[in-house]
Structure 1
C-alpha cells in the first residue's frame, strides 16, 4: 500500500476529491449497498456515485467515472474493457473488488494498472479505508496478497510464465474441449496434454475448472 498524495490548496473534506465514482457489478443489491456505504462513511455526495448493474462497457463509459469499482471477473474481456474505458475517460482509477480473489488475478489486475485489489469478503471498514486511499491518490492491495507477493519475492519463486503449449491447452480446456480433442489438435498424447494442463493450473494457482474459466475470461482467452 502506498502513501496517499498530499493535495495542498484543496478544501478539507473527509477524503480527497472523488470526482465521479461508478460502482459496477452483476448484483444490483450489492451495487446499491456499496454506493450507500461510500455515501455514509466517506461523505460522498450521492449525485457523485453512479450504479451500474449488470456490467456493460457502454453503460460504464456513459457514467463517466473518475473512480471505477468492479469485479474484474464479471467483464467479458477484462483487457478490452479496461482499454475501452481508459480511452473514453483518461485518468480513471480502477478498483478490483473480486468475488474469486487469487494471487494470479491480483498480479494480472496490477499489471493492467488497477489502483486497488480487494476481496469481496473484506470487512466494510477495511473496504472504506481502501477506497479512501485510492481517492487520495494511493494504491491499496489487501494484506493477504501483499504477504503472498512478499513471500514469493523473498523466496525468488515468482510464478513462471506459461509455455505456449500450456497456454493453448488451458485455452482449449476453458472452451470445453476434452483431453482427447486437445491431443488431436496439438498432435500430442492425452497423457502429455494432462501434464500440460496440470502444470499450467499449478502455475496459475487454479484448483478447479470454474476458476480456470474465470481466469480465462479475465485474460481474454474466450473471446
Structure 2
C-alpha cells in the first residue's frame, strides 16, 4: 500500500510517517504540508491512498479531497483532523473520503482505518460515529429518491447481509434482490459495498 501524507503540522507528519513505515506492507511515497502543489506530487508518486489533514494553509482538506476524487476516481482518501462535528465529518465523506480519523485517536485506530480502506472497506472514527448519525437527519443527501424496496435492500447490504440473507428477510427471490441492489447502486452512484456503507453512514441508516 503506497501512501501519501498531507498535514501542516511537521511533528504530526513525521510521527505518522514513522508509524506507517514501521510496517513492511505500507510505504510512504510522499508528504506535503500544504495543499499547493499536492496534485502535481500525487501525479508523480501515484499513491494508493492519501491521508488528508482537514485544516491546511490556503485550502481546506475537504476541497482537496474533492479535487483528488475528481481527478483520480479510484484513489483512496482518509480524512485526518481535530474537528469532531458530525456535519464536518459528513462533508469530508461527501467529498469522496473512504474514512475519517481524529488526530486524538490512538495510532492503532489510524492503522486500522488504513487497512480497512485498503481492503475495500470504510472507516469512521468511533468517537464521531454517533455525531455523524445525528447530523444525517438534519442534512440529508440530495440524491435521486430510492423506492421503498431499493432502500430496504440497500440498508441490508450496508449492514453486511448477503443477497441470500436479504431474500429471506424480505421474502423475495435472490434475483429480485440483485435487481433492487443494482438499481439502488445506480441511483446512488456507488459501485461497491463500501460505497453503500458510506452512503448509509451519511444518511443515518445504521443508527436505526
TM (norm. structure 2) is 0.57
- Unaligned 5+ residue runs, structure 1? 1-17, 162-223
Structure-2 change in CA distance of 1:91 and 1:159 (3 Å): closer
Partner residue, 2:48? 66
Question: Where do 1:183-222 residues align within 5 Å?
Answer: none
Q: Confirm or deny that 1:133 pairs with 2:113.
A: no
Partner residue, 1:122? 105
Structure-2 change in CA distance of 1:79 and 1:31 (3 Å): closer
| Matched residue SS, 1:73 | coil
Partner residue, 1:34? 16
Structure-2 change in CA distance of 1:131 and 1:63 (3 Å): same
CA–CA distance in 1 between the matches of 2:97 and 2:81?
Answer: 12
Q: Do the aligned partners of 1:68 and 1:95 also contact (CA within 8 Å) in 2?
A: yes
1:44 to 25, 31, 40: 25
Deviation at 1:137, TM superposition (A): 1.2
Structure-2 change in CA distance of 1:99 and 1:77 (3 Å): closer
Partner residue, 2:34? 54
Q: CA RMSD in A?
A: 2.6
TM (norm. structure 1) is 0.53
CA–CA distance in 2 between the matches of 1:99 and 1:61?
Answer: 27
CA–CA distance in 1 between the matches of 2:130 and 2:69?
Answer: 30
Q: Do the aligned partners of 2:101 and 2:109 also contact (CA within 8 Å) in 1?
A: no
1:86 to 53, 65, 69: 69
Structure ranking higher on relative contact order (CA contacts 8 Å, 6+ apart): 1
Partner residue, 1:96? 79
| Matched residue SS, 1:100 | coil
Q: Do the aligned partners of 1:72 and 1:78 also contact (CA within 8 Å) in 2?
A: yes
Q: Do the aligned partners of 1:52 and 1:60 also contact (CA within 8 Å) in 2?
A: no
Deviation at 1:80, TM superposition (A): 4.8
- Unaligned 5+ residue runs, structure 2? 142-208
CA–CA distance in 1 between the matches of 2:117 and 2:131?
Answer: 21
Structure-2 change in CA distance of 1:31 and 1:44 (3 Å): farther
Q: Do the aligned partners of 1:130 and 1:140 also contact (CA within 8 Å) in 2?
A: yes
CA–CA distance in 1 between the matches of 2:125 and 2:62?
Answer: 22
Task: Tell me the matched-pair count.
Answer: 138
Q: Confirm or deny that 1:148 pairs with 2:135.
A: no
